[in-house]
Chain A
């Protein structure tokens, strides 16, 4: 009998400590499946961020380190340049990647570092209690934008993937979501492509994942799925933002 579904080798047999309805667990699982499918678990080094995924090493069953807030792309650069035949990826939230680590991601992308970046955009700082992120929507109420985000005070939702997509060093950027099964399958495909690119030495690949944070958004888990569809995707449209292999 053919086995169709099993627990990924790249995940430890640990329970996720994420809140109910959170998207991190789904993305962890997708990552693990992709790493298993490429049989690269034993040559992969993951870099966990500061944020809710800071404990990713409790779940990922391969070598993992934890970088200072925003610095995973620099740490990944150090590792990958010394060990170019290993698979190196960063896993970063919107605060980590688009705010405190804006310089690091911009320059790693511009250098065309041959790494894979998984960028979780849930439009909020989850771990510290729900503050405004650079990706927070206009009018979105957070702990630090109690009256809703105002553009004149805090600027606009940052479309960092589009910004990074302008850089010649970037090979591939796609924005996906994990709010329904169809989108989850597309997300897996994108993640798979981002790792395949690295294996083939194509250069910098980033997958932005629109992910649920029901607690941070003060909605139920089911409402959070709809919130992505109705609020987040109109501002952050899904799809390929840059793909060098298509343009040549």
Chain B
């Protein structure tokens, strides 16, 4: 397998955590993986994106130019990245924040209201996990069980009490996405 993914949205939407968790899950599956974040002049509310490459072989460039998958959380990101998607690529769109219909032949578009689903669960910050759940189901890189296990182990690493309370809602968000 060879998967090149870009995840993009606003800073604060959990873009980096989403990508890092996926990279961690891929590592736990024994795959090679790279994660590369956008970085720079720090700004809350600015755009954020990260690139994840997953492969059985040694990975060359971590800088994805033409992704095989895109997870898009807001409109500016859709405008910026949708044209770069490969043929037969997968495009997951947060339909809670992006109204535009994408009409492009040869790609698979899944519109999921991830922000609304997250709000129903009680915290719109877990929209990232909803989207990741959808992605994992579509790509089959890991099972839902492994994903939940990985999520728990990562959140437990952050040894603050409040993080532990976040496990439950993140787990539910992952499940909701997976079963959407």
Assess A/B contact in the complex (Cβ within 8 A).
no
- Chain B residues at the A interface, C-beta cutoff of 8 Å: none
